Structure 1
Amino acid sequence: MAIEAVAPYAKWIIIAVAVLYFAYLFILKKRVFEVAVGVALSGVMAALVAVVTMAIQVPTPLTSGYINIGDTMVMLVAVLFGPTIGAFAGGFGSAMADIITGYAHWAPFTLIIKGVEGFVIGYITSKKDDFTAILLATILGGGLMVLGYFFVEVYVYGWGGAIAEIPGNTLQAVTGIVVGGGLGHVIKRRIKDVLVSLQI
């Protein structure tokens, strides 16, 4: 099984992805955070992701985590504002929610996993934003989120904990696809010109 073969390298995969994530945001895209609109959008969207993530939380005792609806906002932000704002708001907003609500041990992993989710969805939908593209982008982003947490949970809790978390993480992904992706499609169709100008 492919996942079993890759799982022992979960730690190094996480580190590599983390390096790429920070390099993308703060080296390749640092100009975004040097202009007022970039700073404002990043901060506001990260705060909204945090608030939505904290709105509904269902604890999962086996892995000391929780099920939430934050992926709806991560996906919505990524569809509307593109990969850079999507990556920043998805990662930092979700990690902020973990820290504020007492799940700080998950924050480093969440930062990377939700950041990658936001980047992937934002990147795909910035290139093509019809219904099919948004649907495929959110499915891919949601799938990466589920897979990302699975790798971390295998490394930290073993196979039992990782497998037990799949249904909850999948539910989060599906909710994000339906609500976040659906709203993103509707809103983007109505004010596309404004949103394109904000994808910096």
Structure 2
Amino acid sequence: MIRENSARTIVFVSLFAALTVIGTMIKIPMPTGAFAHLGNAVLLLAVLLLGYTKGSLAGGLGFMIFDILNGYAAEAPYFLLESFVVGAFAYGGFLLYKKNPTHVWQLIVIGSLTGLGKLLMTQLKNTVLFVFLGNDLSTAFIAAAAKLPASLINVVTTIIIVALLYFPLKRILKR
């Protein structure tokens, strides 16, 4: 995690928020109408490198800015909340290794736990959305599950990117 210094902290939270916006703009369209993107990888890196609160805030702000700029403003508050929930899954995995993963396989475990949080939040959000649209709970749950492939691709992509970038970024930030 970065050394404590308020100006440095603000810069890094802002940097990771901007990188989240950029990562989310790199969209891979899915047949379900959703899209896979690289923003979740930035969120996970932010939590691992900045800590739970600052990392989740950076990712959440980045997702909110992306949503507001791209016509999804109504969903922006949800993604701030989701960033903190998914960030908690990430940080829980991080704590398994005493905040110091030393092997790629440990990052894969952390990424998998983070992905589980993302998939649960996506399923919950989409189920609630389909219920509000007039579907009964079982139909809404099934319809929501049909949208999970994009999130699953996000999870796998996130794990790969974090496994490649975490150790080099950690060394850079320790300077």
Shared fold (TM-score greater than 0.5)? yes
State whether residues 98 and 104 of structure 1, in contact with CA within 8 Å, keep that contact through their aligned partners in structure 2: yes
Query: Secondary structure of the equivalent of 1:136?
Result: helix
Answer with 109-118 or 121-130: which moved more: 121-130
- Normalising by structure 1, we get a TM-score of 0.69
Out of 141, 152, 157, the position equivalent to 2:114 is 141
Quote the offset at 1:181 in angstroms: 3.2
* Alpha-carbon RMSD: 2.5
Using the alignment, how far apart are the partners of 1:109 and 1:185 within structure 2?
Answer: 30
Structure 2 unpaired stretches of 5+: 131-139
Given the superposition, is the C-alpha separation of residues 72 and 150 from structure 1 closer, same or farther in structure 2, using an over 3 Å criterion? same
Using the alignment, how far apart are the partners of 2:61 and 2:49 within structure 1?
Answer: 17
Q: Does residue 1:35 correspond to 2:17, yes or no?
A: no
State whether residues 82 and 121 of structure 2, in contact with CA within 8 Å, keep that contact through their aligned partners in structure 1: yes
Matched residue, 1:77: 46
Using the alignment, how far apart are the partners of 1:94 and 1:104 within structure 2?
Answer: 10
Using the alignment, how far apart are the partners of 2:169 and 2:14 within structure 1?
Answer: 21
Which aligned pairs between 1:97-108 and structure 2 lie closer than 5 A? 97-108=66-77
Given the superposition, is the C-alpha separation of residues 103 and 183 from structure 1 closer, same or farther in structure 2, using an over 3 Å criterion? same
- Normalising by structure 2, we get a TM-score of 0.77
Specify the code of the residue in structure 2 equivalent to 1:70: G
Which aligned pairs between 1:43-58 and structure 2 lie closer than 5 A? 43-58=14-29
Which aligned pairs between 1:37-186 and structure 2 lie closer than 5 A? 37-58=8-29, 65-122=34-91, 124-125=93-94, 127-131=99-103, 132-157=105-130, 158-186=140-168
Specify the code of the residue in structure 2 equivalent to 1:41: F
Seq. identity, %: 25
Using the alignment, how far apart are the partners of 1:138 and 1:169 within structure 2?
Answer: 13
Structure ranking higher in helix proportion: 1
Given the superposition, is the C-alpha separation of residues 135 and 192 from structure 1 closer, same or farther in structure 2, using an over 3 Å criterion? farther
